[in-house]
Amino acid sequence: MTDIANTLTIDGRTISFEPGQTIMQAALAAGVFMPHLCYNPEFKPHGSCKLCTVTVNGRPQSACTIAAMPGQEIQSDTPELNGRRRVLLQMLFVEGHHFCPGCEKSGNCQLQALGYEMEMLSPHFSHFFPDRGVDATHPDVMIDFGRCIMCELCVQASRDVDGKNVFALAGRGLASHVVVNSPSGKLGDSALEVTDKAVEVCPVGAILRKRVGFAVPIGERIYDHDPISVKALEPDEA
Amino acid sequence: MHKPRMSGRETTLSDHPSKGGNALQAILEKNHFNPTRLVQILREVQDREGWLSEITLTDIAQGLSLPISRVRSTANFYSFFYTRPVGQYRVLFSDNITDRMQGSTQLFEHMLARLKLTENQTSADGAVSVARTSCTGMCDQGPAMLVNNRAVTRLTPRRVDEICDLIKAGLPLSSWPNYYFKIENNIRRRDVLLSANWDPGEALRAAIARGPQGMLNELKLSNLRGRGGAGFTTAIKWEAARTAPGTARYVVCNADEGEPGTFKDRVLLQRYPGHVFEGMTIAGYVIGAAKGFLYLRGEYSYLLEALEAHLDGLRRSNLLGQNICGVEGFNFDIEIHMGAGAYICGEETALIESLEGKPGKPRIRPPFPVTYGYLGQPTTVNNVETLCKTLEIAINGGAEYAGQGTKQSTGTKILSVSGDVELPGIYEYPFGVKVSQILEDCGARDVQAVQVSGAAGICLSPREFGRRIAFEDVPTAGSFMVFGPKRDMFEMARNFAHFFAHESCGFCTPCRVGTSIISNIMDKIAAGHGTQYEMNELGRLTNVIRGSAHCGLGTASCNAIADTVQKFRATYEAKIRPVDFEPSFDLDKALAKTRAVAGRDDADAHLETSVGAH
């Protein structure tokens, strides 16, 4: 078909890719970390958090949704792009309630880990303090809507893996929020089970299992010893 | 006490649960229990019930075998769907900068005062609620409002008073004076399209005579480019949709004219609906589609009845339906879908999502609609004006068409002119016309600025009035808002900042959060609390949002701010304070609740130090 080699460059480093891979997939497979939150290798790319925004031949693109093509020149780990990522993280922090010291997910949270990775020192912007509430009606699972980052991984997991459609995203703009598929709108009345993929997949502390809080103590958690840029490249880690 | 419904109907579904079930069933049946028609179903049900209760949403979900979360998701997305009770009269003031320039803010406050309401509050008797909405496309005859989705134009203090009286008397809209609802076409300058006098079907027959490939060739020769703003070559779009693999093909006419200051599609649909439908039919003929959708913005619902009647006429004269014009196997029909208050649905993939009954959030592109559009099938989405232009090409041929305008921007362009001009309305010019020419023709004097192509467009200062309207110079979807010497261009940028924060679909981080942060910064500057720090923040955020937003809405959301900061910096500097920083937190404002509890609002109840206290 073509004799052009399936290679591209990321920050000057040449890597090979398989046809059909996205830039994100090619990068991770080649051991190049690209910051991401809504992307999970097990699911269809969502492309909403925009942390993986890179420039492809000078144009900004989401690495998780754009196909890898021969000869692409990609910039990712640059002061300017990391500066943008820091602003995006700050936006996510002030949009919801992300108070790490009081969150059970601390140490296992990808938002927090990326905050460290991108050297985010403060939320910078004024907090929006949304009133999205908490739903603790389910016997085994709780959801703190204020921590949701609208990645829709729970929506995808529940629909495509669990076959249940427990979650959906509703609202518009800053009023976007997750809704639960049950007559009362409450988690307790939904088909969700604690073993569902949708419970496991939340990258932040929005969906939490009950009664297992701090079973793994702070200090021994996923991102406590190695940063997310290392953990994300380990084969068994999302 | 029972108040008559606005629609003139005396009953609601909720008044008669048993009958309500039947009415809902009838609406679902009429829509073939088809989940892709969810937006239409919600609109029809809400028209009867006034709002969409949780019980209603559950019934709809059951009727369509959809998860309730999906129905909530769609119902929650669109501005014109109400999941909480609203007034039986829902008054929405159009809040474009042109409405404001015509005094809408004072009228809005006047109405709230007369009805003793605050914004978004429903009166205790449930009769009325008053709020604001994005530009309703009546800029040449504003200030305008929507009452239960019916447009009322040319508001004056007197008219607002009369409307308050009609509302208090509980008179249904059908008994209100007709002239309230009169919508003028205001066609001021005609060129090829607006002066054409084609017979119905004439262009379609000409296209048929050329054959699908022949028509496509003429389209290529014409170099017709999309009139919705992006300027994509129509022939390439149609050819791609024609040749892409698929089990069905679709033609979509984008009549979700939401760009602030644009109203030319409204005039085309009101005055020349036949041209629009015929353009869609030609598209269907060329790409091999059997079905077309007209996606009409909710603000233009007053057009629906006439458009449906026109479609019926076309069916009767075999210009739609089976074996059109006697061509064996040429079957094509058109369905009208109404939007429900979402600017983002003007983005073609968001529009398709909405056509499928979902929230209007832009898809990831590629794939593009020409290969993966409505229901995953090849789809061409074209602007109203673009489709009208194909009639010219069918009749006169591509070469003649390309003789007008400039090399890269052939043909004519319709502009919607509003703002500080003597003759607001519709102007058709060949591409390449100078901005100064348009200003002269519409009677604009001492112009300070022109905002071309709406909130997402470009702001021109007088030194740029020699520039030309063309894709290669000043591209436009048609909006042309003129600002006189006394206007504050900062206020235009602030109005647009609010617009984008309100219309952001919420999908991607930079647009969802960034537009709200920007809008708050603009408010802070307007309140006299801004400093150079805020100016720097605007620049920094503009860079981030432009460099990472998911779709055109996001990337364009900072254009007006960037332009006005650059070209009208003095207006910003007059507002910012010569200190390094002022906190956003306003202690005096934070004490508002305490004052309300104490029943006081006198000067002594305010902090002296607060800059905001007037």
Say if B58 is an interface residue toward chain A (CB within 8 Å). yes
pLDDT-derived band at A235 (thresholds 50, 70, 90) equals: confident
Say if A92 is an interface residue toward chain B (CB within 8 Å): yes
Q: Is residue B177 part of a domain?
A: yes
Whether the CA torsion A152, A154, A160, A166 is positive or negative: it is: negative
Domain at B446, CATH number = 3.10.20.600
CB contact under 8 A, B67 and A168: yes
pLDDT band at A4 (very low <50, low <70, confident <90, very high): confident
pLDDT for residue A238 is more than 50 = no
Closest Cα in chain A, distance from residue B214 (Å): 32
Query: In angstroms, rounded to a whole number, what is the distance separating the alpha carbons of residues B416 and B96?
Result: 14
Q: Tell me, what CATH number does B169's domain have?
A: 3.40.30.10
Q: What is the 3-state secondary structure (H, E, C) of B214-252?
A: HHHHHHHHHCCECCCCCCCEHHHHHHHHHHCCCCCCEEE
Tokens found for residue A220? 């021994």
Residue B3 has pLDDT above 80, yes or no: no
Average predicted confidence (pLDDT) for chain A: 95
Tell me the count of A-B CB pairs closer than 8 A.
123
Lowest-confidence segment of B1-5, B162-166, B516-520 by average pLDDT = B1-5
Note down the domain range covering B141: 89-184
B199 CB burial (10 A radius; 0-12, 13-18, 19+)? exposed
Do B254 and B291 belong to one domain?
Answer: yes
For residues A178 and A168, what is the distance between their CA atoms, to the nearest angstrom?
Answer: 6
Within 10 angstroms of residue B210's Cβ, the number of other Cβ atoms is 21
Average pLDDT over residues B294-317: 97
Domain for residue B602, yes or no?
A: no
What's the whole-number mean pLDDT along residues A137-157?
97
The stretch B306-310 carries a mean pLDDT of 98
Residue B227 lies in a domain: yes
Residues B360 and B279 in one domain: yes
Residue B210 lies in a domain: yes
Query: Is B583 in the A-facing interface, judged by CB distances under 8 Å?
Result: no
pLDDT, tens only, B412-464: 999 999 999 999 999 999 999 999 999 999 999 999 999 999 999 999 999 99
The domain tally of chain B equals: 5
Nearest alpha-carbon partner for B437 in B413, B454, B409, B403: B413
Q: Domain end: B483, B506, B531, which one? A: B483
Q: Looking at beta carbons, which residues of chain B come within 8 Å of A47? A: 364, 508, 550
Q: Which residues of B touch A181 (CB under 8 A)?
A: 67-70
Q: CB atoms < 10 A from the CB of B320, how many?
A: 23
Interface mutation target, options A37, A51, A91, chain B, most CBs of B under 10 Å: A91
Candidates A61, A85, A87, A169: best to mutate against B (most CBs of B within 10 A) is: A87
Q: Is residue B605 part of a domain?
A: no
Residues of A in contact with B506 (CB under 8 A): 150, 169, 171-176
d(CA B94, CA B91): 10
Q: What is the pLDDT of residues B524-557, one digit of tens each?
A: 999 999 999 999 999 999 999 999 999 999 999 9
Q: Check which CATH number belongs to the domain holding B496 and give it.
A: 1.20.1440.230
pLDDT of residue A3: 58
- Print burial letters for B127-147: b (CB count within 10 Å at least 16), e (below 16): bbbbbbbbbbbbbbbbbbbbb
Instruction: In whole angstroms, give the CA distance from residue A108 to residue A213.
Output: 12
My answer on whether B240 and B155 are in the same domain is no
Mean pLDDT of A162-191: 95
Query: Considering the domain boundaries, does residue B524 fall inside one?
Result: yes
Q: Ramachandran region of residue B120, left (φ > 0), alpha (ψ -120 to 50) or beta?
A: left
> For position B609, what pLDDT does the model report?
55
Gap from B72 CA to chain A (nearest CA, Å): 7
A26: pLDDT strictly greater than 70: yes
Looking at the domain assignment, is residue B446 inside a domain? yes
- Which of the four pLDDT bands, split at 50, 70 and 90, describes residue B4? very low
Q: ∠ CA B297-B298-B304 to the nearest 5 degrees? A: 85
Residues B451 and B315 in one domain: no
Structure confidence at residue B362 as a pLDDT band (50, 70, 90): very high
Final residue before a domain boundary, out of B184, B217, B237:
B184
Is residue B9 scored above 80 in pLDDT? no
State the Cα–Cα distance between residues A41 and B450, nearest whole angstrom.
48
The mean pLDDT value for B490-504 works out to 97
Of B292, B287, B289, B207, nearest to B239 (Cα)?
A: B287
CB contact under 8 A, A47 and B517: no
- Closest partner residue to B520 (CB to CB) among A126, A170, A182 is A126
* CATH number of domain containing B314: 3.40.50.11540
Check A87 against B508: CB less than 8 A apart: no
Nearest residue in chain A measured CA to CA from B555: A60
In the three-class reduction of DSSP (H, G, I as helix; E, B as strand; rest coil), residue A169 is classed as: strand
Instruction: Give B13's pLDDT tier (boundaries 50, 70, 90).
Output: very low
Which SS3 state, helix, strand or coil, does residue B71 take? Answer: helix
Residue B434 lies in a domain: yes
Q: Which amino acid is at B45?
A: V
Does position A15 have pLDDT exceeding 60, yes or no?
yes
Confidence at B17, pLDDT banded by 50, 70, 90: very low
A172–B504 CB contact, under 8 Å = yes
Give the pLDDT band of residue B230 (cuts 50, 70, 90). confident
pTM (2 d.p.): 0.94
Rounded (5°) CA angle B460-B464-B468: 95
Whether residues B366 and B395 share a domain: the answer is yes
Q: Compare all CA atoms of chain B with the CA of A85 and give the residue at the minimum distance.
A: B544
Instruction: Say if residue B102 is in the same domain as residue B62.
Output: no
Is the CB of A68 inside 8 Å of chain B's CB atoms?
A: no
Would the pLDDT of A90 be above 60?
Answer: yes
Q: What is the ipTM for the molecules in this complex?
A: 0.96
Q: How far apart are CA B129 and CA A50, in angstroms?
A: 38
| Six-digit token string for B518 | 């920007």
pLDDT digits (tens, 9 = 90+) for B166-181: 999 999 999 999 999 9
Domains of chain A: 7-77 (3.10.20.740), 85-231 (3.30.70.20)
* Residues A184-203, mean pLDDT to the nearest whole number: 96
Write out the two tokens for B535.
């100016």
Contacts of A60 in chain B (CB under 8 A): 547-548
| pLDDT at position B584 over 90 | no
A185 touches chain B (CB under 8 A): yes
Chain A residues whose CB is inside 8 A of the B516 CB are: 128, 173-174
Co-location of B388 and B248 in the same domain: yes
Task: Give residue B1's pLDDT band: very low, low, confident or very high (50, 70, 90).
Answer: very low
> B112 and B199, same structural domain?
no
What is the longest distance spanned by two Cα atoms in chain B? 83
Residue-by-residue DSSP string for B492-546: HHHHHHHHHHHH--S-SHHHHHHHHHHHHHHHHHHTT---HHHHHHHHHHHHHHH
Residue B20 has what pLDDT?
59
Same structural domain, B265 and B343:
yes
Q: Both B55 and B108 in a single domain? A: no
Closest CA to B226 of B372, B409, B426, B351: B409
Residues B290 and B379 reside in one and the same domain: yes
Residues B282 and B206 in one domain: yes
Q: Residue A176 and residue B509: Cβ atoms within 8 Å?
A: no
Among residues B483, B516, B543, the one where a domain terminates is B483
- Output the six-digit token pair for B286: 């060329």
User: Tell me: the pLDDT tens digits for A42-61?
Assistant: 999 999 999 999 999 999 99
> Considering only CA atoms, which of B236, B91, B108, B228 is closest in space to residue B167?
B91
- Output the furthest CA–CA distance in chain A (Å, rounded): 59
CB contact under 8 A, B509 and A48: yes
For residues B80 and B341, what is the distance between their CA atoms, to the nearest angstrom? Answer: 5
Instruction: Write down the pLDDT at residue B613.
Output: 39
Measured in degrees and rounded to the nearest 5, phi and psi for residue B89 equal: -100, 115
Q: Is the pLDDT of residue B19 over 90?
A: no
Mean of the per-residue pLDDT values for chain B?
93
